Amino acid sequence: MDFLMSGLAACGACLFTNPLEVVKTRMQLQGELQSSGTYRRHYKNVFHAFITIGKVDGLAALQKGLAPALLYQFLMNGIRLGTYGLVEARGYLHTAEGTLNPALSAATGALAGITGAYLGSPIYMVKTHLQAQAASEIAVGHQYKHQIFPPQSWKLTLAASMVSGFAVVLTMTPFDVVSTRLYNQPTDAQGKGLMYRGILDVLLQTIRTEGIFGIYKGIGASYFRLGPHTVLSLFFWDQLRILYYTYAK
């Protein structure tokens, strides 16, 4: 039951924060491997991106990729919060004196997060493809026109796992940019060679062509999304647990 409540709580938060995920994805793909000043900036900042997407693609576009995003959140956070809650409830995170063991708590949370991100990685790829799709006048990155479940997605689980292990936006953003670009690069299925050879190659190519700030694209959207998503997830999780333990017993 802990897994179900945790997954539903994350889905509730995702309904409110998915538009920021769309904005973040578009901004991270904007000007990909192009030096500053050589491309048109469709999205100048978070707020301008919201207006531009709503105006050109329509307001519904701000919820693009919602279905796979909900499935990803349910799977990843169901495992992450559910596992942590289960381990905590059984007392494995406490010392013999009954106090919480910080190191064991952090290790459990990190391991649960990595496991959830690994299993949810294929769905994350689908979400990224759908959220990157845009009208031609504001399109960025490679434009996939399909809604299939890519078998190649398991090859990129490491990037998603690395992203899930960082809680600070400043540290997380470069790896978030890496995962977004890896997930959205052209694949052999479209008859095109891979743009990147791996995580390190994305970082090196991005810094070489776009400068150090290229790996921090979308940091504003990441910042505005992380706080509300975390707070809402924990709030819904807490409320669901209260309801369950109140009425199920």
- Model-wide pTM > 0.75: no
Exposed, middle or buried, 114 (CB in 10 Å: 0-12/13-18/19+)? buried
Alpha carbon dihedral 236, 171, 129, 143, in 10-degree steps, equals 150
pLDDT at residue 24 is higher than 90: yes
pLDDT digits (tens, 9 = 90+) for 198-207: 888 888 999 9
pLDDT digits (tens, 9 = 90+) for 230-245: 888 888 888 888 888 8
Span 2-247: which CATH code? Answer: 1.50.40.10
**Domain parsing of the chain, residue ranges:** 2-247
C-alpha 177/C-alpha 175 separation (Å) is: 5
Quote the DSSP letter at residue 107.
H
Contact 77, 8 (CB under 8 A): no
pLDDT at residue 88 is higher than 70: yes
Taking the chain, what is the end-to-end CA distance rounded to the nearest angstrom? 13
Give Cα 173 distance to the centre of its chain: 10
